[in-house]
Structures are given as C-alpha cells and as structure tokens.
Amino acid sequence: MSCGCKTSGDSAHSCGPKKTATGCESVNTCGNSYKLSVFDWLSNINNPTSNRCDFVEVRFKNDRKSFYKNVNNIPLHIGSVVTVESSPGHDVGVVSLTGELVKIQMKKKKFSEELALKIYRQANQKDLEVWQEARKKEDGVKLEARKIAQRLGLEMKVTDVEYQGDSSKITFYYTADNRIDFRQLIKDYAGSFRTKIDMKQIGFRQEAAKVGGIGSCGRELCCSTWLTDFRSVNTNVARYQQLSINPQKLAGQCGKLKCCLNYELDSYLDALSHFPSSSTTLDTEKGRAFCIKIDVFKKKMWFAYVDHSIAWYDFDIDLVKKLISKNKRGEKILPLEDLKQPETSVQTIDLIQENSVDRFEKKNRNNRNNRSNQNKPSNNQGQGQQGQKKNRPERQERPERSDKPVRTENPSANSGNQPRQQKPQPQQKVPVEKVKTEATPNAEQNPQSNPNKKKFKKKYPPKKDKDA
C-alpha cells in the first residue's frame, strides 16, 4: 500500500519500508514532493488528556483537502490511503494530518464538525485498482472536454479534470471571464463520458496552483507548494515599494499581480512611517520645490524646482524635517544647491580584486620579482663574503710539473683520457702570445665598438705523443 507521496495521489510510487507511525520518513522526496505539505510537530509528544481527536485531514488530487471523522477508530497515520464517504458512492484519498492539529485547522478554516463525513476503511486492493484506472483516463477526458467546449463556442478553459475514487463522478475545473451557459455542454459531456458531471469555476490563481510551474525567482510557485489563502494584490503595493508599474514584471504566471508583493509590504510601510509625505513641498528663496523620489534603504528624498525639474537634489530625511518645520514657521529656506552638502568619498578596499582586469598578471609579476630577489645576494651578504675573502690565507703556488709525459702500464685503457692529463709543451705557448699581441691593437683601435665583449684565448689541440 502506498504512502501517497505522489503529487497526483497515484499509488504507483511507494516508500517501501520507510513508513513509520508518524508517516513517511521522506515525505518531500518519495515519488514527488507534496503540494501543500504538512508537518506534524506534535507527533512525538504524548497527549496529556485522555480525549483523542477523532477527526482526520484527507488530501485528494492537487490541493483539495477535507476533514473526515474516524468513526471506527482505525489506526491512521500520515500517508495512509483511506476510503471515505462521498455523494454519490465513495472516494479515495491520502491522510495528510492527524491528531490535535486537525482541530486547529478546522477552527482556522471555520469547518463545522457536524458537516464532517466519515471514513469507511483503509483502502483495499480493489479500491486502489479502480482509483488508478480512473486517474489514467483524466488526461484524455480533459482534451476531449476542451474540444467539445470549443465546438460549442463557449469562452471558457477546462483547466483540470478529477475523477472520484469509484469512477462515479467527474469534476471539471474551468476558468472564464463571463457567465457560461452549461445546458448543452453538460448534455454533451454526459453523453460522451457516461457518468455524473460536476462543473466548478475557479480563479486564475487557483488555476496556477493546480497546474504548477516555476516562477521568475527560479523556484516552484508558492500557490502550488505552501500558499493556501490568496489575498488580493493591489497596484498600490508596488508604489509603496518604489517599483516601476510594469505589468510584465509584476504579473505572475496566472496573469495577476504576484502574491510575493505582499510579503515585504509591512516592512516597507513601517519604514515609510518615518518619512515625510511624498507630496511635501519646500519654499526656497529661489522658488518652490517638490519631492520626486524616495529611497527607503538610504533614507533620502530627492527634490527639484517646479520651474526647473531637470536638476535633482537629495537630502536626508532628518534635514528635510528641519526644512519643513522652518516653512511652517513662515521662513524661506536657502536654495537647494546651497543646502546640498558635498559627498564624502568613502575609500573602499577590494579584498577579492574582482574589479581589476590584470589581477592575475600582478601575481605573476610579484612571483618573478621574488624569485629574482632570492637569487641575488643582499648587500650585507656581499660585504660579508668580501670580508671572508680578505681574511682567507693566500694560496700557495703549485709546483711546476715536469714536461715529461707520464707513461701508464696499460696504454689501451687510458688512451681516451690522455688529452686531459697531458699539458701542452712550452713550445706551444709561443703562438698563443702572438695571438694576444695581434688581437690587442684591434681592441685598442675600436674600444667603443663592443666594450662588453669578452676576450677568449685561442686554444690549439694538444699534439699526440708518439712515445705513448
């Protein structure tokens, strides 16, 4: 048996072993999220009195709910599928609330206990099968009902269709701007669907609640998730909140003004109570000025001259109150441009550095500079190294090596290392000095040609020793 967490009340999606005495553990995730879900915060609290509430709240398709009396004292919890009394026949629904909170809801909605119908039993397998078969027909019936209404030329829209649990009645929910003549329409519906027909007119807000959708805020519509009472929204609500009267931005999916405009209205009215009236005028030496704009958050008012309304001047509400009190005493105030105080520029620190375009390049430059500074020795280090060089003892001159080559016992093994070990003979030093003397006059003639050019000595490869 299903817990009924599916939005349409379909029992094909069940919680399995997750059901407890207080209902489904994952009411908001099993199958689909509850529309107008209810949380019983008194479920874990024992009733101090012996009196037990016999009334139960049962939810049907979409947002339709009603209260029933548990005459047979059936152990019910949130998510139980029950068969309840209806006219005619019976209906199948899901228990959405039990306990003492049901009395509070009945008192809130002014529901009389005498009008409450009774619960027959928990739904058995036959009741569930008939209920599921009736739900599968609803989409086809809705399309056929729209075609019939269009053929008769009626200016109405069939929004939703709901079958009763025993398939003995169909309820058609429709929206229309004018009154509709249903005499021929009901005859055609009864002839096509072969059951009892019930027509109910709903508003555009109720239509959006039944259909559902995503609002401009990116979340599900409030009317289809938690909002139950639809209050009227006036255009003055937008004026109090300093919003532009743009019907495309202020209207919701239902075509009416958004219900969320009422949410912050009390906060705006409380803030505006400290402001002077928007129709306030100031008598200045230059002429009369009137209020053009009000900023609730900055607590400022903008004024402009009647003759020259292009230039606007903003003042704090405390200063405006002082100016109004001067006018009441019959005194004229200074011109607005003289009263305007110079704005003090506030220095802001960009901690995230989002405004700078080259914020990534600066980091690379700093890293490069740090690396170069690490490689370069500091002045103190250089001076210390020079002092160490001075304190070092002078190196002793190495003894001159003999010009005779050193023979090895295995000439084949060390043949590759011979050029490195042997030193050139003294006869080979003579041409090197000649090269020096030949290169020096060119350098002296053109010292400015390339002063930083390094001078390299020309080396000749050592001659091979025949004795080796």
Overall size of the chain counted in residues: 468
Residues 261-311: tens digit of each pLDDT: 999 999 999 999 999 988 888 988 888 899 988 999 888 999 998 888 888
> Lowest-confidence range among 45-49, 82-86, 168-172?
45-49
Q: Where do the H-state alpha helices sit in 194-285? A: 204-211, 222-225, 235-240, 247-250, 265-272
The mean-pLDDT minimum among 36-45, 125-134, 145-154, 174-183 falls in 36-45
pLDDT of residue 417: 46
User: CA 218 from chain center: how many Å?
Assistant: 8
* Radius of gyration for the alpha carbons in the chain, expressed in angstroms and rounded: 47
Taking alpha carbons only, the member of 79, 68, 108, 85 closest to residue 11 is: 79
Asked whether the predicted pLDDT for residue 363 surpasses 70, the reply is no
Confidence band (pLDDT; 50, 70, 90) for 260?
Answer: very high
- CB–CB of 192/144 below 8 Å? yes
Is the backbone peptide bond immediately before 88 cis, with ω within 30 degrees of 0? yes
- pLDDT for residue 200: 93
Percent of the chain with pLDDT over 70: 64
The angle subtended at Cα 228 by Cα 225 and Cα 230, nearest 5°, is: 115
**Confidence class of residue 462 from pLDDT cuts 50, 70 and 90?**
low
Q: Is 161 helix (H, G, I), strand (E, B) or coil?
A: strand
Who's near 19: CB < 8 A, 6+ residues apart?
A: 3, 25, 77, 79
| 32 SS3 class | coil
- Answer whether 0.75 is exceeded by the pTM: no
Cα 446–452–453 angle (5° rounding)? 75
